[in-house]
Structure 1
Amino acid sequence: MNIEHYQNFQDCLKKGLKKQASKYVSLFVDSFESEDEIESWVWGYLPCLETNNHSCIRHELFNNLVYPVLRKGYEANDYRSTLWLGKLVQNICQTKGVFEDLGFLGEMDFYRKCYDIDPSNTEGNELLVNSILTWLSYCEHEWPSAILYGMDGADIEQCKDIRDEANFAVYLSKNKSDKEFVMQFLGKLDQYEKRLNKKSCGAPIRSV
């Protein structure tokens, strides 16, 4: 590994020299001589990584160095690797073939797996709660018209899935305001489920 290429890459980025930056990052990637060397650099690099406006690290670094290490660890149920896949989900979504390679999993899925591996890890639990709360915020953003599940209004079975995640967030969260948000969301979910049940029974539905 030639660390000077990486330093030159960073210097060019700071100066706005995009073409030269691309040259040096490619040279840096090509300078590694073994998988062990790549793994050592990745775990030293990740804690201080720099991201762009899309919360992504440089694609050459992710594709050629970071992702292979995280993928290997993920397959071995390594907590640290799984956690970082959640943190780098924007890279996953923007890299052709990687989202599919990981089974179409999203941020919340990776953090939930982290909980399954080690339910006592505070960082992972906090990230999981935040991810669930973000999802719930999306689910309610067309209220009172609907509670969303994906792009459409949730059906009765999907409401159960949403409720399970909401209750799990309450269980995990240590923050009073988070719990209060979830409880008000569950109140909306109750109303929405009642509307769905009336509709399934053929009763007329009044707008909320």
Structure 2
Amino acid sequence: MKIEYYQNFEKELKAGLKKQASLSVKHFVSSFESNDEIEKWVWEYLPKLEKNRHSCIRHELFVNLVYPTLKNGFYSEDYNSTLWLGKLIQNIYQTGKLFEELGGLCEIDFYRKCYEIDPTQSEASKLLLVSLLNWFSYCEHEWPSGILYGNNGATIEQCEEIRDEVQFALTLPVEAQDKEFIAGFLTKLSEYEARLNKRINAD
């Protein structure tokens, strides 16, 4: 591995020399001689890699170096690898092949897996809670029209699933403002369920 290629890439990127930067990053990727060398670099540099405005790290670095390392760790149920797949979910989304390869898992799935691997790790618990709260916020964003599940209105069964997730979220380190949001969301969910039941009974 020739680190000077990576150093040149960083300098050229900052200087706005896109073509030179692209060439340097390709040379850098090609300079690795073993998987062990790749893994060593990934774990040393991963926390330092800058994300763009789309919350992605450089595509060539992700696809050729970072992703293979994290994927192997994920399949071995390694906590850190799984956590970083969640953090770099936008890179996965932008590369459809990798998204399919990982079974279509989303950010929340990786953080939930981290929690299952080691529930004592506070970072995974916090990130999982944030993901759940974001999902609840999406579910209610068309209120008072209804509660969403995906792109459609939730069914009775899906409302039960959402309620289970809410109860699970409350077992995580929830702050007062989050509890207030959850309470309001549960009120809307109950009202929506009542509407559905009324409609079913009317039919």
TM-score range (shorter-chain normalised) is over 0.9
Match of 1:196 in 2: 196
Q: What is aligned with 2:13? A: 13
| Whole-angstrom distance in 1 between the partners of 2:35 and 2:96 | 22
Trace 1:55-74 onto structure 2 (pairs within 5 A).
55-74=55-74
Question: Cα RMSD (Å) of the superposition?
Answer: 0.8
The 2-side partners of 1:191 and 1:130 are apart by 24
Q: Could you tell me which residue of structure 1 aligns to residue 185 of structure 2? A: 185
Contact 1:147 1:154 in 2 (8 A): yes
The runs of at least 4 consecutive aligned structure 1 residues that moved more than 6 Å come to: none
* Helix, strand or coil at the partner of 1:171: coil
Percent identity, aligned pairs only, is 64
| DSSP 3-state at the match of 2:160 | helix
Q: How does 1:3-42 map to 2 (within 5 A)?
A: 3-42=3-42
Residues 173 and 179 in structure 1, CA contact (< 8 A), matched pair in contact too = no
The answer for unaligned runs of 5 or more in structure 2 is none
Structure 1: which 5+ runs fail to align? Answer: 204-208
Q: Distance in 2 between matches of 1:29 and 1:139?
A: 41
Q: Report deviation, 1:48.
A: 1.3
Q: What amino acid is the match of 1:20?
A: Q
Deviation at 1:188, TM superposition (A): 0.4
After the TM superposition, which residues 1-150 of structure 1 pair with which residues of structure 2 at under 5 Å, given as runs? 1-150=1-150
Shift of 1:139: 0.5
Shift of 1:174: 3.4
Q: Distance in 2 between matches of 1:61 and 1:153?
A: 39
Write the deviation string for residues 175-197 of structure 1: whole angstroms up to 9, x where unpaired.
11111111110110000000011
Partner of 1:206: none
